[in-house]
Chains A and B, each alone.
Chain A
Amino acid sequence: MQRIRLRYAKRGPLRFTSHRDFARAFERALRRAAVPIAYSQGFTPHPKISYASAAPTGVGSEAEYLEIGLQAEVDPAELRAALDAALSPGLDILDAVVAREGSLADQINASRWLLELPGVEPRTAAEAVAAFLAAEEVLVERMTKQGRRSFDARSAVTFFAVTKQSGAPSEAAAAPCAIIDLVVRQVTPAVRPDDVLSGLRVVAGLEPPVPARVTRLAQGTLTPQGEIVDPLEADREGATIGGL
């Protein structure tokens, strides 16, 4: 069985696609593109698809990953193009490589996020970020399936800074907009960008007037230098196949 790993994006309005919504759309795309997907054995066979941790509903992403098992070998570049054409624009397949060994999950331990805060002055945001970084621990609360729970949002954050591009957001030219670069390690319980934003409220009382716009820019292995390595790198044998 050939295994192929894909990187995909959730863009624009389609960032409101939930993980379940994406999974249904992806299975239909496999049928539309006539991909020879492998099925699990058993009474109700399921297509062989496994997902790496998915971005929350409403959060855009340039770096979502999944792996599929195939009954017949296909060319990854052709597969990428066919699946991309079979999905709605905004759900875009960016890259495809043949999996070598290990699992996708082994290659992912951190994410880089872009946070856009329209209506927030970059300086105000920078002060809040500094306060967050100076704290030993930042306790935040979130509703989980087990009920409301409190956890530390600080220790998972490895990089947090207001970028130089901060200024006007795309839609409302006159208003200020803070833009933040954030790197968070994968921990349990998961610390998500909205938890870090809650942390800014806790440490500095930062309350954005409109919901922040969040995008996952990268997912992968965090190096000691603070870079995030694309999890498909390990599978790639030198040549870049398809994608960006």
Chain B
Amino acid sequence: MSVSSVFPQLEQLLPRVSKPIQYVGGELGAVVKDWDATTVRWALMYPDAYEVGLPNQGVQILYEVLNEQPDVLAERTYAVWPDLEALMKEAGVPQFTVDAHRPVHAFDVLGLSFATELGYTNMLSALDLAGIPLESQHRTVEHPIVLAGGHASFNPEPIADFIDAAVLGDGEEAVLEITGIIREWKAEGCPGGRDELLLRLARTESIYVPRFYDVDYLPDGRIQRVVPNRPDVPFRVHKRTTMDLDAWPYPKKPLVPLAETVHERYAVEIFRGCTRGCRFCQAGMITRPVRERSITTVGQMVKEGLEFSGFSEVGLLSLSSADHSEIGDMCSGLAEQYADTNVSLSLPSTRVDAFNIDLAQELSRNGRRTGLTFAPEGGSERIRKVINKMVTEEDLIRTVVTAYSNGWRSVKLYFMCGLPTETDDDVLQIGRMAHEVIRAGRIATGTKDIKCTVSIGAFVPKPHTPFQWAAMERPEVIDNRLRMLKQEINSDRSLGRAIGYRYHDGEPSLIEGLLSRGDRRVGAVIRRAWDKGQRFDGWSEHFSYARWVEAAAETLPAFGVDLDWFTTREREQLEVLPWDHLDSGLDKDWLWQDWQDSKTEFEQDDCRWTPCFDCGVCPSMDTEIQIGPTGKKLLPLTPTNGLRSPAHTH
């Protein structure tokens, strides 16, 4: 049965909402397929506003991988702002995809990419607008499978009631395997209904179906155990790892929006994974091992991506881009190729050393200089040892001064507040460091015309990291430290004038902490907060701390726990954590040891350059580090003459 577009109804509403262009699709790279000519249909959602969701790499990659299959259709949907949500409810217009404006409830799968937990309430709004029951148990064979992915799905327990399944790890191969299972099940006439399909997914041992697991609690509120409630599903669900990134050179046809979005660039992931071992960093822990994309593939992707998209900016992305084994050749090669163009090249925030300045120098050869950002994360030498961010104060000052000497007038520095073992003095040290940076910079450049920006946010402990046991600091303490830091920065008026200060309050982070390390009982809090109108948790103008606190106070006491219990409480070694049955490959004993090392300020090296320290990932996942150097060079660009007629994908 074919499915028609809801655009004629939506069109009536668009003149009444802000930025209607975000709801009409029409991007370059968008694919619209004949509904009836396909057998498996995916609606992919990034549960935030279009301007944030459209550039998301994960969604773009899966969209392209899926649409390359002839019998598969993938479309995208994003969170609609409250102004349109209200009009859609009034007019009975359902949650729709932007590609062909088809109703989301008609698809086989609604795949949600959760980069953070702050999209949970937006998922509920989308389900509600789509006419899909909010709770998994109320759905029938008529409804899509609601599937969570992204980093937050490494602990999907807080949304266990709302999703049908979760995938841990890399999605490229996972979406194809899931498609295969659905294709087969549909071809057989959907035997056993929804439960049978979920069972087939669960049997892969890499797809988690919460309803097949029971959670038992101890009288004090802690978890006693999480066990399968049927014999044919695995005790632990394992993450996915896509090896050989050269075999997956996506996005090839990046989506180019008409609406303004947060990133307007061609982004290429130069490697995946990171073994720097920063103890707060969930991304670095759950994406191991390091897998590099080769310099030749990166060069080819940049060339084709720019030609296809018309973007004038390229981002060389990864968790620590300067660590690519051929980053020097890559940067100089790209700078050479785009020297006479208006293309600007950038590396994201980088670790603190002079090598990064060389790279940034290379990339700005055509005069297009992008900002420099360093992330020392901690203000004192001591706290940097606690978090395993190995950089000395001397290194930092030397690096920033080198940047000033090379013509950068402004540098951004990122920090965190509320780290384990942190004292007031650790935070105040940030101010002293910033003073020193400006003082040394003025001497080195002989000018007062230099600035730095200190940007600081509250630390949120995440599952599958050595800090998963840590207590969060209370928001009042965080906010007080942020105030003291401001005073410290301004204690010297001359230096203080050259230092910009940006910070995020402690309150939203406490809620993020609840959602990150929560268990299934937190689902009631999410539901209650959403019922009270909570949406768009990542946006300060929409986030209400009071609403979340109320929702927690109304729901958690029934379970004998509260907001503090989930956030400011330190966990003990033997406590069963809500995500222990979800296998990121990291050995829990190793994580615990690293947590102990952190308290004694013992640093852990990177396994790319020192022997393996047995974090557990490679042997348990049957993976290995994939790094160069390959010794190859970027392929030279072939000069083109005359106008180009880019092919349409429509």
Give chain A's interface residues, CB within 8 Å of chain B.
Answer: 13-14, 16-18, 20-22, 24-25, 27-35, 39, 45, 57-58, 74, 78-79, 81-82, 85-86, 88-91, 171, 210-211
Contact = CB atoms under 8 A, between A and B. Distances in A.
B260 A211 contact: no
A81 B20 contact: no
B646 A58 contact: no
A85 B310 contact: no
Nearest first, the 7 closest Cβ-Cβ pairs linking A and B are A28-B310, A32-B310, A13-B24, A31-B310, A82-B643, A211-B15, A16-B20
A89 B32 CA distance: 12
A18 B21 contact: yes
Contacts of B8: 171
Contacts of B644: 32-34, 82, 86
Contacts of A24: 258, 260, 264
A27 B12 CA distance: 30
A33 B15 CA distance: 32
Contacts, number: 95
Residue from B7, B258, B342 whose CB has the most chain A CB atoms within 10 Å: B258
B232 interface: no
Interface in B6-44: 7-8, 11-12, 14-16, 19-21, 23-28
Given A16-B24, A32-B307, A211-B12, A21 B643 contact: no
Given A28-B311, A31-B310, A45-B342, A86 B646 contact: yes
Interface residues of B, number: 38
Contacts of A86: 310, 644-646
Contacts of B25: 13
A56 to B, nearest CB: 10
B24 A35 contact: no
Interface string B261-288: 0001000000000000000000000000
A19 B310 CA distance: 18
Nearest to B256: A28
A122 to B, nearest CB: 20
Contact of A21 (B28, B260, B642, B645): B260
Contacts of B648: 85, 89
Contact of A34 (B264, B642, B650): B642
Contacts of A58: 14-15, 20
Given A34-B643, A34-B644, A211-B12, A21 B21 contact: yes
Given A25-B258, A28-B310, A85 B645 contact: yes
A13 B26 contact: yes
Contacts of B593: none
Nearest to B98: A13
Contacts of A28: 28, 256, 309-312
Contacts of A91: 258
Nearest to A88: B26
A33 B308 CA distance: 9
Contacts of B19: 18
Interface in B302-352: 306-312, 342
28 contacts: A13-B26, A16-B23, A20-B260, A21-B21, A22-B258, A24-B260, A24-B264, A27-B312, A28-B28, A28-B312, A31-B306, A31-B312, A32-B307, A32-B309, A33-B645, A33-B646, A34-B644, A58-B15, A58-B20, A79-B643, A85-B646, A86-B310, A86-B644, A86-B645, A88-B650, A171-B8, A211-B15, A211-B16
B640 interface: yes
A33 B342 contact: no
B115 interface: no
B556 interface: no
B27 A88 contact: yes
B647 to A, nearest CB: 8
A32 B308 contact: yes
B258 A29 contact: no
B21 A90 contact: no
Given A28-B309, A28-B311, A82-B645, A21 B258 contact: yes
B259 interface: yes
A22 B264 CA distance: 14
B259 A32 contact: no
